[in-house]
């Protein structure tokens, strides 16, 4: 029997993540880290006892929170942890964007922002980047119900300086400003320090990129104690046990291995700069990416053609069929060997 039950369904168009192909491919499409996580992560996860797994996890992630706070130079009450920064951002949208004014974010940015706005019924307005994909701070000085900026922005890779971030936060004392720093470790200065002076600033980061732990799903946010309390109250109204024990333990081990973190992120930055030069030699024009990916416009063939031809050769990059960016590829920085394989393929294709 089919009645009219669909009248009450919340219908949404979901976010589409990059493909996760199986098999022997060169995967440069979802900005994962090409290096394994610190070997200390596996050791710590292996050492977790059955007795601990039998129990519910620590709801407030005490140890991980304390280490994050210590490393960032903030109090534990200024740290929030979630299941990847997607979860943190989603909770932050739900918590902080609750007025009739539109939330502002760039027209070219992380394509999950408008999806969260729609699923939670939040009004939003996109702000156009300039022709060079730059954000202009004064565009965010108008009345609004909140602001979200990815810094560096994705998929452009372009970084705003701390003064520019501060000018946006300072100009908007009546809104919460979220700075999404998923890629900050690859060349930017974090805005975490500004949270001491601005109650309305939430800085979001992740273990998925610079800590090579996309599979464990750990994200975090830093902010004023009051801001974090509001965020936690909403989170605990949805789910008490979001962070599983293995992620808490593995994340802590990754965080403590600072030497490994410094070594791998320096290598990614080195290969990024090498890759910029190589792509330029191949006729691409590039933004000045401060992230672990490149945003590259080919000449000779269209980005769409190259995307498909590379995929046919087992090399996955990202391409969006959207008017503002359809002439570009977003290419995750892999190992030097992976990048050389990409350049060899591009040389043949072009
Ligand atoms: N923000 C930006 C700008 C991203 O590109 C991503 C990765 N897709 C995320 C947040 C979410 O990453 P995660 O949930 O793995 O922390």
Q: State if pTM tops 0.95.
A: yes
What is the pLDDT at residue 18? Answer: 87
Q: 68 alpha carbon to ligand 1 midpoint, in Å?
A: 18
Q: 114 alpha carbon to ligand 1 midpoint, in Å?
A: 14
Residue 8 lies in a domain: no
Atom of ligand 1 nearest to the CA of 219: 16
Residue 314 lies in a domain: yes
Mutate to test the pocket of ligand 1, among 206, 243, 320 (most ligand atoms within 8 A of CB): 206
> Does residue 136 share a domain with residue 75?
yes
Number of domains in the chain: 2
- Residue 67: give its domain's CATH number: 3.40.640.10
> Does residue 271 share a domain with residue 240?
no
Atom of ligand 1 nearest to the CA of 180: 1
Q: 347 alpha carbon to ligand 1 midpoint, in Å?
A: 31
> Does residue 323 share a domain with residue 179?
no
List the pLDDT tens digit at each of the 350 positions of the chain.
789 999 999 999 999 888 899 889 999 999 999 999 999 999 999 999 999 999 999 999 999 999 999 999 999 999 999 999 999 999 999 999 999 999 999 999 999 999 999 999 999 999 999 999 999 999 999 999 999 999 999 999 999 999 999 999 999 999 999 999 999 999 999 999 999 999 999 999 999 999 999 999 999 999 999 999 999 999 999 999 999 999 999 999 999 999 999 999 999 999 999 999 999 999 999 999 999 999 999 999 999 999 999 999 999 999 999 999 999 999 999 999 999 999 999 999 99
> Does residue 107 share a domain with residue 82?
yes
Q: 148 alpha carbon to ligand 1 midpoint, in Å?
A: 13
Atom of ligand 1 nearest to the CA of 86: 14
- Residue 323: give its domain's CATH number: 3.90.1150.10
- Domain termination residue (choose one: 256, 276, 297): 256
The residue nearest atom 12 of ligand 1, judged by CA position, is 85
> Does residue 205 share a domain with residue 235?
yes
- Domain termination residue (choose one: 224, 256, 288): 256
Beta strands per DSSP E along the chain: 26-27, 79-82, 103-106, 124-127, 146-150, 177-180, 201-206, 219-222, 285-286, 293-297, 315-316, 329-332
What are the pocket residues of ligand 1 if the criterion is a CB atom closer than 6 Å to any ligand atom?
84-86, 110, 150, 154, 180, 182, 206, 208, 214, 219
Q: 96 alpha carbon to ligand 1 midpoint, in Å?
A: 19
Residue 320 lies in a domain: yes
What is the pLDDT at residue 1? Answer: 78
> Does residue 122 share a domain with residue 209?
yes
What is the pLDDT at residue 247? Answer: 98
> Does residue 81 share a domain with residue 214?
yes
Residue 1 lies in a domain: no
Q: What are phi and psi of 206, to 5 degrees?
A: -145, 155
Q: For residues 27 and 22, give the distance between their C-alpha atoms in angstroms, rounded to a whole number.
A: 10
- Domain termination residue (choose one: 199, 223, 256): 256
Q: Are 136 and 109 in contact (CB under 8 A)?
A: no
Residue 76 lies in a domain: yes
Q: 102 alpha carbon to ligand 1 midpoint, in Å?
A: 23
> Does residue 65 share a domain with residue 173?
yes
Residue 5 lies in a domain: no
> Does residue 195 share a domain with residue 165?
yes
> Does residue 127 share a domain with residue 269?
no
Atom of ligand 1 nearest to the CA of 207: 16
Mutate to test the pocket of ligand 1, among 17, 33, 112, 204 (most ligand atoms within 8 A of CB): 112
Mutate to test the pocket of ligand 1, among 88, 156, 182, 219 (most ligand atoms within 8 A of CB): 182
> Which residue from 214, 185, 205 is spatially nearest to 291, judged by alpha carbons?
185
In three state form, how does the secondary structure of 237-255 look? Answer: CCCCCCCCHHHHHHHHHHH
Residue 10 lies in a domain: no
35: CB partners within 8 A, 6+ apart? 212, 264, 267, 268, 335
> Does residue 240 share a domain with residue 118?
yes
Residue 178 lies in a domain: yes
Atom of ligand 1 nearest to the CA of 17: 8
Range of the domain at 242: 40-256
Residue 123: CB atoms within 10 A of its CB come to 14
> Does residue 186 share a domain with residue 197?
yes
């Amino acid at each position: 029997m089919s009645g009219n039950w669909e009248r009450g369904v919340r219908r949404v168009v979901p976010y589409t993540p990059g493909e996760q192909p199986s098999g022997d491919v060169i995967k440069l499409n979802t900005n994962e880290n090409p290096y394994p996580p610190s070997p200390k992560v596996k050791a710590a996860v292996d050492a977790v006892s059955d007795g601990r797994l039998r129990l519910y996890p620590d709801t407030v992630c005490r140890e991980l929170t304390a280490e994050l706070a210590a490393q960032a130079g903030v109090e534990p009450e200024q740290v929030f942890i979630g299941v990847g920064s997607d979860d943190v951002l989603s909770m932050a949208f739900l918590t902080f964007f609750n007025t009739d004014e539109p939330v502002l974010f760039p027209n070219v940015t992380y394509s999950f922002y408008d999806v969260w706005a729609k699923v939670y019924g939040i009004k939003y307005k996109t702000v156009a980047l300039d022709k060079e994909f730059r954000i202009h701070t004064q565009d965010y000085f108008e009345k609004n119900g909140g602001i979200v900026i990815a810094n560096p922005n994705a998929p452009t890779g372009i970084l705003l300086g701390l003064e520019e971030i501060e000018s946006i936060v300072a100009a908007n004392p009546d809104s919460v400003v979220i700075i999404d720093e998923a890629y900050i470790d690859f060349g930017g200065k974090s805005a975490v320090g500004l949270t001491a002076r601005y109650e309305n600033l939430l800085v979001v980061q992740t273990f998925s990129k610079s800590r090579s732990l996309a599979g464990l799903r750990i994200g975090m946010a830093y902010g004023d104690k009051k801001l974090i309390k509001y965020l936690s109250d909403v989170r605990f109204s949805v789910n008490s046990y979001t962070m599983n024990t293995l992620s808490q333990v593995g994340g802590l081990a990754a965080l403590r291995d600072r030497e490994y973190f410094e070594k791998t992120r320096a290598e990614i930055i080195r290969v990024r700069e090498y890759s910029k030069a190589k792509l330029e030699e191949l006729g691409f024009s590039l933004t000045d990416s401060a992230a672990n990916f490149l945003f590259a416009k080919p000449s000779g063939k269209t980005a769409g053609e190259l995307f498909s031809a590379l995929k046919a050769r087992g090399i996955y990059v990202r391409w969006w069929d959207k008017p503002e960016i359809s002439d570009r590829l977003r290419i995750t920085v892999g190992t030097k060997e992976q990048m050389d394989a990409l350049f060899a393929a591009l040389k043949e294709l072009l």
